[in-house]
Homo-oligomer: A and B are copies of this chain.
């Protein structure tokens, strides 16, 4: 929130939208989180808000206080372990794939690969172009973070594709071992 406000994104609605267009893949949010949090931050003097209506439609804009700027700086400078509380249901499924027969486990790997490919594409089509506009406004790091995210999904898709090839090779090897001769055309 503080980071977005510092970049001049001043309303709850705009912050939610900006998150959807930028950090969504590694840090998402919702209106139900944004509005109460803005109120809380204001009560604690990290930010100050003022009414900023647009015609009849009410709107509230916020900006950082000195205390808020300091808090943002301290967070970015803090050596504390950044909590990569990184819950990856895809990896969890992979972990338990032994519960499936071979062909279905391979299908799971393919689905995970396709999922990584879709995320890669979404990143490159939706997030990266958006981030490419940032350097012109003096923000270098949004594009860098977007590139790290996009490259990650590319890497992951390739890793899973390699895994699938390996599993396919293993399956062939095992079949010819157990069944020896026989049906050459299946």
Chain A residues engaging chain B, CB cutoff 8 angstroms? 3, 6-7, 22-23, 25-28, 72-73, 75-77, 79, 81-100, 104-105, 107-108, 111-112, 115, 119, 138-142, 144-145, 148-149, 151-152, 155-156, 159-160, 163
With contacts A83-B89, A159-B151 known, is A94 near B3, CB below 8 A? Answer: no
Question: Complex formed: what's the CA distance from A95 to B73 in Å?
Answer: 13
With contacts A26-B87, A27-B91, A88-B27 known, is A138 near B98, CB below 8 A? Answer: yes
With contacts A73-B99, A99-B76, A139-B98 known, is A82 near B86, CB below 8 A? Answer: no
Total identical chains: 2
Instruction: Report chain B residues within 8 Å CB of A141.
Output: 94-98, 105
Closest to A134 in B: B98
Question: Complex formed: what's the CA distance from A88 to B145 in Å?
Answer: 11
In contact, A72 and B96 (Cβ under 8 angstroms)? yes
In contact, A94 and B159 (Cβ under 8 angstroms)? no
- Min distance, Cβ A140 to any Cβ of chain B, angstroms: 6
Instruction: Report chain B residues within 8 Å CB of A90.
Output: 82, 84
With contacts A77-B100, A88-B84, A119-B84 known, is A95 near B163, CB below 8 A? Answer: no
- Give 16 pairs: A residue, B residue, CB < 8 Å, sorted on A: A23-B91, A25-B86, A26-B88, A27-B87, A27-B88, A27-B89, A27-B91, A77-B104, A77-B108, A82-B88, A83-B87, A83-B89, A84-B87, A84-B89, A86-B87, A92-B145
Instruction: Report chain B residues within 8 Å CB of A151.
Output: 159
In contact, A82 and B89 (Cβ under 8 angstroms)? yes
Instruction: Report chain B residues within 8 Å CB of A75.
Output: 93
